[in-house]
Structure formats: structure tokens, C-alpha cells
Amino acid sequence: MTITLAIILVLIVGIGFLTFFIVRSLVIPQRVDALAGLLKKGKTQVVIKAAKAIITRDSRSAEAHYWLGMAYHRDNKDELALAEFKTVNQLGISEKNIPEVEFRELLAQLFISRKQEEEALKEYLLLIKLLPKHAEYYYQAGKLFSERNRNDLAENYLHKAAELNPKDGRIHYELGVLLYKDKKASEAKAALQVALKYSGENPARIHFYLGKIQKDAKDYIAAAASFEKAARDAQFRMRALVERGGCYMSLNAVDKAVPDLERAVKSITDEAAQESLYARYFLGLCYENTREIDKAIAQWDRIYSKKKNFRDVGEKLAKYQELRFDDNMKDYMTAAPVDFADLCKALVSQAMELKVQAAKNINEGCEITAIESDAAKWRNTRKMPKLIRFLRGSDPIDDSKVRSLLDDAKAANLTKAALVSGSDFTRTAVEYAASRPIELYNKEKLQELLGKVASPGPSKPTRRA
């Protein structure tokens, strides 16, 4: 009896264990399958708890990790979702009840959101193998190859994407930008024009790169029109304004460049950004061109405080350093054309002791014809006329300007000339003038002349250009 009872107990326990394992093997898959329905109903917290419970019992359940990741993603917890999806990838999804295409699409997006582009690219390449006629995967792979500077592969994948979906403006835009950066201007322009055709409601970025291509081709009028359209979009406004200002500068239309560049500067939010530095730099050049040197210096100062080695800002500030301390030189460099002509006449009559016969404003300054005054006639029994040209640019004067002045003097039957500059002269200019009837007045000599001119006094403020 005792033996029979023991046998019965062993059989009961055995049947119990067998029943447990049978139920376990049947119930767990049913619970995993139920997760999809629960998630579809929006019960993310229920799915999370159920999936975790399943994983506690079976950590290698790829399906449970997948639905847990999906629930986390639905709950905007993408970092946790990515961790679960990585686990799914490690466990493998072969012969598992997991939709592979949906899984890999979302995994690629999660990798991109976490700045893991290399891993995202692997997923898109796998997706291409799964669905080789799906343009989106080629497009995304092309973008990722482009970001890795693999332009050859990027171009191939984007061309394939365009072939599969020729009416997708995004694909043609990405291809156009890639070709532009690869210095294939004509192909880039063609791709961007197709992108414009299928662009939908946001063509600003396309107009921006079309403008860049037109500007590079020196078609500044067309480029300015493209940048105007690009500037309508807040994302491209600042860069487009800077580029359009640059077009007008190339057309010598500084009056049109200044408003665009001033708008660009007013929109600066990050002073250290490259486009911010260029906005201030170009605006400073325009102010320099119109003789508003104080304003130019203010722009270059702002640049110098952020990036000391930006282009030639340091050199420009050094050139105009004396303007901060020398009011006479400041008047010479910044006076409006009428006041500048008056100052030049004073320099001729008071500092050079010559008599002004004629004066006129020229593009770079002022030109005066003068003869020796009665006070200085003892120096020569014959009064010799002289052509005097005053320049106030900041760049060194080369020998071409010396030659030009002598040619103009000869054409006017004048045997002597003088060139006065607010900057210095190049070595070749000095050597050329040494054996010819022309005097050169560099910045230091000009300062001496200015010191001999009577101050106009506070009652007559100097106008600025």
C-alpha cells in the first residue's frame, strides 16, 4: 500500500510538471501574440508590463523584446525602444513572428535619431535586399553615404531612387545638392530644376542652391532673383540674404547690397556661426566702399571678437587703427564727397602752398589741377601746373595707378603730378615713380600734410559719406 501510494504521488508530480511545461509552452506564445492587439488598442502600459513579464521568464523571446520596443516607441521613449530593438537584432528574427520590413524601417529611423548613421545605413542596405524596387530605401542610403562623404556611392543610390520614383522632389533635390558639392554644375542644375517641378510647398532650399550655381557662373542677376525666393523661408533667410548681398557687390551695386546685408545682420542669433561672420564681413566691405569707415570697423570688431583669423579682418582693423585716434585722418578717410573735395583743396592751398585751378571728385577720391601760388613763386620763375590725385582706399597703391596718373597728366599737357594716398605704396610703385616726374605721398606724409591744415572748427561738422 505504501509503495502504491508513493508511485501514485510520483505520477501526480510528474504529470504536474509535464502539465506546467505544456501550459507554459502554449500560454507564452499566446500572450506574445496578444501584445500586438493590445498595442493596436493603445494600451502601451499593459503591453510594457506583459512583455517584461514574458522576458523575465524567457529572456531570449525576440517577439517579446520587439513588442516591448514598439510600446516604448509609441510612448515616446525611443532610447529604451532602440535598446530593445538592438536585442531583437542580436537574437535574430528568422522564423520569428516579427514583421521584418516594419522592424528594420523603424530601427533605421531610431539609429538616425540617436546619431548612429552607420548603423542606420546597414539597415537600409538590408531593406534594399528585401525590397529592391523601393525608392525610399535608396534615397535614405544615398543621403547617408553623402553624409559620410562617399559621393560616388551616394550618387549611384540617389540616381537609382530617382529612376524608381521620378516624381519625388526630395530625391532630385538631394541629388542636385550632391552634384553641386561635387562641382558638377550643369548636372546639379538639371536635377534641381526637376526637384523644383515636384517640390510641393517648400521650394526655398531648391532656389538657394540654384542661386549658388548661378552665382558661381557669374549670372548675378539670375542668382539674386533665386536668393530672393530662398529668403522667403525662415530656415534659409539669413544665408540667402548674405548670398544676394554678395551678388549685388559683384555687380558693384553696393546701394542694393547694404539693405540685404543689414537685414542678415539683424537676424543673427549665433554670432560665431559662419554665415553670421560672412554677413558682418560683407557689410563691413560695403561700408568701407561708401566711406562709412566707423560702421565698417564696428562690424569687423564684432567678427574679431569671435574669430580673430577670419579672412583679413585683423589686417583691416590694423589698417584703420589710426582712425580711432587721429581725427584728421578720420576726416580724410570718411568725409562725404563734397567735404572731401574741400579738404583736398585745403591740403593743396595750405599744406602744399599751391593755387587750385580746378577740382573734381573721382571714383576713388578727388583730383585737383594746381599751380604754384604767389607766395611760392620765388622757387621758380615759371609757374608749373601739376595734376594732384587724392586716393583714400585702404589697399596699397601699385604701379598701375602711378602709370595711370602720369598718362592723364600727359594727356592734359601737365608735366608734373602727385599721388596722395591714405594707405601705402607697393615696392614696384615706388621704384616706377623714382625716375619720373611724380611725387608719392603715403599715409605718413599725408598725416604731415593734414597737420598743416587749419581745423574747420566745431561750427562746421564734417559730413560722412
- CA 274 from centroid of its chain's CA atoms: 6
Are the beta carbons of 141 and 130 closer than 8 angstroms?
no
Q: Which residue's entry shows cell 510647398?
A: 201
Nearest CA to 164 out of 187, 142, 188, 149 is that of 142
293 CB neighbour count, 10 Å cutoff: 24
Q: Residue 411's pLDDT is what?
A: 93
- CA 410 remoteness from chain centre: 49
Residue 459: what pLDDT?
Answer: 37
Adjacent-strand bridge partners of 361: 366
CATH architecture of residue range(s) 201-319: Alpha Horseshoe (1.25)
- Residue 159 contacts residue 146 (beta carbons within 8 Å): no
Burial of residue 458 (CB within 10 Å: 0-12, 13-18, 19+) is exposed
d(CA 46, CA 95): 26
For the chain, domain boundaries = 201-319, 329-451
The pLDDT, as a whole number, for residue 383 is: 67
Q: What is the pLDDT along the chain (465 residues), one digit of tens a residue?
A: 566 655 655 555 555 554 444 444 434 434 777 888 888 888 889 889 988 988 898 899 898 899 999 999 999 999 999 999 999 999 998 888 899 999 999 999 999 999 999 999 999 999 999 999 999 999 999 999 999 999 999 999 999 999 999 999 999 999 999 999 999 999 999 999 999 999 876 699 999 999 999 999 999 999 999 999 999 999 899 999 999 999 999 999 999 999 999 999 999 999 999 999 999 999 999 999 888 888 999 999 999 999 999 999 998 888 787 676 678 888 888 888 888 999 999 999 999 989 999 999 988 889 999 998 765 555 554 567 899 999 987 788 999 999 999 999 999 999 899 999 988 999 999 999 999 999 999 988 998 999 888 755 443 444 444
Give me the sign of the Cα torsion angle 284, 288, 293, 297: positive
H or E, element range at 294: helix 293-306
> Do 329-451 and 201-319 fall under one CATH topology?
no
- Output the pLDDT for position 269: 92
Q: What is the DSSP letter of 235?
A: T
Per-residue pLDDT at 201: 63
Tell me how far apart the alpha carbons of residues 229 and 108 are, in angstroms, rounded to a whole number. Answer: 34
DSSP output for 136-184:
HHHHHHHHHHHHTT-HHHHHHHHHHHHHH-TT-HHHHHHHHHHHHHTT-
N- to C-terminal Cα separation, the chain: 123
- To the nearest 10 degrees (0 to 180), the angle between helices 185-197 and 169-181 is 160
3-state secondary structure of 373: coil
> According to the model, what pLDDT value does residue 8 have?
59
* Domain 329-451 part of CATH 3.40.1350.10: yes
The whole-angstrom separation of Cα 319 and Cα 296 is 12
In the sheet that 365-372 helps form, which strands lie side by side, from edge to edge? 354-362, 365-372, 386-391, 416-421, 438-441
How far, in Å, CA of 207 to CA of 240, rounded?
Answer: 9
